[in-house]
Structure 1
Amino acid sequence: MFYKIDKNNVSLRIKAQPAASKNEFCEIYGEDAIKIRIKAPAVEGAANKELVKFLSKSFKVSKSDIIFKTGQNSKIKIVEFPLSDKFNDWIEKNGYR
């Protein structure tokens, strides 16, 4: 599974695709990551900043609460953020439970 809920935090394993036409969630990548397209190019951390902004808006969490656990300089990354109702709704809506 591409996400793990531990107490009040979510760890999300992401396959980032920078320089896309728009920010969007895509399909499951492999068995344990979700592909996310990001508008910003992978230059000087721009894609990571855009990814944080996208996750923050998508799940209604503060940008400062989103932490890179691994892969800050890689396309496969793990981010952690507080569990929100918006995340739970997204999991339910997309059938990822």
Structure 2
Amino acid sequence: LEYVIKALVDHPEDVKINRVVDEMGVLLTLSVHQEDMGKVIGRSGATAKAIRTVLRVVGMKNDARVNLKIEEPEGSERGQQGMSDSAPSEPYVRDTTVDDVIKDLKG
């Protein structure tokens, strides 16, 4: 995932991926530079949908659910809407690669 995203964006040094693993599956949270959001999401969300589809296929192949969350960059007007003070509890978070996720899913 990291390799693909870095190839799409103009600011690859700002690409960050965090992983949360729990009983529901794997949640990958993607953070990119504000100027790169359009490239990652694509027209009408087509690029983001394609990335999510690939991740779902990888998850199905490894009997796990894999979801992608794309975080709004700081300073984004859209990101300020609907913000709440409570943060979700995260049982397990670390920077990772897709290969790490596949290894973890295979056990």
Q: So what's the TM-score if we normalise by structure 2?
A: 0.34
Structure 1 or 2: more helix by fraction? 2
Q: So what's the TM-score if we normalise by structure 1?
A: 0.36
